Amino acid sequence: MAQKGVASDDKALIVTAVGVLTVAAAMPVLLLMGPWGSATGDTARLTAVLTFIGVLVTALVSLIGLMMKHQSDRRLAQEQIEQGQRLKLDAAMRAGQLLMPTDGGAPAPAAIASGLLALTKLDRADLAVALLVDLWVDGGSAVSDESAVLVIDAALRSSSLSAQLIAAELLCRRSSKLDACQSLHWPSAIDGGWIPEFRPRTKLLLVEALAQMTLAGPSNQSSLRAVAVRLYGIWRDDTDQRVRGCIGKLISALTGQLERVGYDDFMQGTQCVKLEQLVIAARSAATNPDGYLDQLSTMLAVRLQGWADQCQTLPSGPGYLAVAEHGI
């Protein structure tokens, strides 16, 4: 965008310079055209020509100064951009050093988390989530689940399509190890909300991750509330009717138990959803034109319904009171 702006400014200056030079060439000729007769008229015309030339010289000097200033500002802006890029690269390299072993031993989990999160703040979420692939593995303690989810959240919020896809796939891969009732186990970017600009593959991976996390977690009303609100956020914010139809099918698998819990306010993260809104979303359930995806979504809906029917108890783990509150 900056380069386009500079090119546009250059073009404007060139047009202005051509216009001034055209006038400069034409005006003296126009002033000198016509019959020369009386001494008084000739003197007045010559005086006008000399006056115009003087004004023109002043204008040309000003134009040259303006062009020189513009070139200087352009060079300064480019130098600032390059300096900023060098600083970011240097900071990224320093962040990467936190991931390297020291004194022959493995780096501390806190140092790894700091390095990865620092990379996301330096607009290198793609690198951070790529490194996370080798660090967040079964049986490993290189990085905690909470830190990994923070890195994934930053990658999902970034403008890098590859970072979003890697983050979604990694979250899907590890989803069965996460707890749907723990806020730090799910990216806040999609906790009751959604980013409709995700590519189709990224969307499918995130929906699968949500379902797998839910099915592998505890069967209680807190988990039921969490998955209902998160699914509704996808249904509400996505503009693709095929996505809405698929999510509506999944929500319809939950509505029976949602109606039996005895209340109609469901909260998760910063979102509050009414039972009637969930019922409306459930009515939008539709058959996917892709027969393969339709079978998979139907199978997933059946599994969710079987799980939801077991969600009759209240939670009792750490933080169980907090799930009843939502931030505005």
Q: Which range, of 84-98, 279-293, 308-322, averages the lowest pLDDT?
A: 84-98
In the chain, count H helices and then E strands: 11, 2
- Look up residue 247 and give its amino acid: I
pTM here is 0.70
Q: Where are the domains of the chain?
A: 2-95, 111-176, 178-328
Report whether pLDDT(211) > 80: yes
274 or 55, higher pLDDT: 274
Between the ranges 5-19, 97-111, 226-240, 303-317, where is the mean pLDDT highest?
Answer: 226-240
Report whether pLDDT(18) > 60: no
Report whether pLDDT(232) > 80: yes
257 or 264, higher pLDDT: 257
Which pLDDT does position 229 carry in this prediction? 92
DSSP 273: E
Average pLDDT along the chain:
80
Report whether pLDDT(86) > 50: yes
138 or 173, higher pLDDT: 173
27 burial type by CB count under 10 A (0-12 exposed, 13-18 middle, 19+ buried): middle
Could you tell me what percentage of the chain is helix, strand and coil, using 3-state DSSP and rounding each to the nearest 5?
A: 70, 5, 25
Between the ranges 84-88, 260-264, 272-276, 300-304, where is the mean pLDDT highest?
Answer: 300-304
185's tokens:
């186990």
Cα gap 197→229, rounded to integer Å: 20
293 burial type by CB count under 10 A (0-12 exposed, 13-18 middle, 19+ buried): middle
Q: How confident is the model at residue 326 (pLDDT cuts 50, 70, 90)?
A: very low
